[in-house]
Structure 1
Amino acid sequence: MMVRDIMHKGVKSCASNSTLDDIATQMWNEDIGAMPVVDQNRKLAGMITDRDIAMAAALKHKPLWEISVQDVIAGKSCHYCRPDDEVHQALELMGESRIRRIPVVDEGMHVTGMIGLKDVVEHTYGQSGQRKKSTISADDLLTTYQKICKPNLLQATA
Structure 2
Amino acid sequence: MTTARDVMHRGCECLQVNDTIDAAARRMAELNVGALPVCGEGGRLKGIITDRDIVVKCVARNKNPAAVAAGELIEEEHVWSIDANADIEEVLHQMAEHKIRRLPVLENEELVGIISQADLAAKLPEDKVGELVEAISATSH
TM-score (norm 1): 0.82
Aligned partner of 1:147 in structure 2 is 135
Partner amino acid, structure 1, of 2:117: L
Considering Cα pairs closer than 8 Å and 6+ residues apart, tell me whether 1 or 2 has the greater RCO: 2
Q: Counting strand residues as a fraction of each chain, which structure ranks higher?
A: 2
Partner amino acid, structure 1, of 2:113: G
Aligned partner of 2:67 in structure 1 is 66
Aligned partner of 1:127 in structure 2 is none
| Kept in 1: contact 2:8–2:115 (CA 8 A) | yes
Structure 1's consecutive aligned runs of 4 or more residues displaced over 4 angstroms after TM superposition are none
Residue 76 of structure 1: how far off its partner (Å): 4.5
Partner amino acid, structure 2, of 1:29: E
Identity level (%): 26
Cα 1:75–1:4 shift into 2, 3 Å? closer
Residue 59 of structure 1: how far off its partner (Å): 4.2
CA distance in 2, matches of 1:26, 1:76: 25
Residue 75 of structure 1: how far off its partner (Å): 4.1
Residue 86 of structure 2 corresponds to residue 89 of structure 1: no
Residue 106 of structure 2 corresponds to residue 118 of structure 1: no
Cα 1:31–1:85 shift into 2, 3 Å? same
1:1-158 correspondence to structure 2 within 5 Å: 1-107=2-108, 109-124=109-124, 137-151=125-139
**Aligned residue-pair number:** 140
CA distance in 2, matches of 1:48, 1:90: 20
Q: Which has the larger radius of gyration?
A: 1
Give unmatched runs, 5+ long, in structure 1: 125-136
- Which deviates more, 93-102 or 58-67? 58-67
CA distance in 2, matches of 1:62, 1:46: 20
Partner amino acid, structure 2, of 1:55: V
C-alpha RMSD over aligned residues: 1.6
SS, match of residue 112 in structure 2:
strand
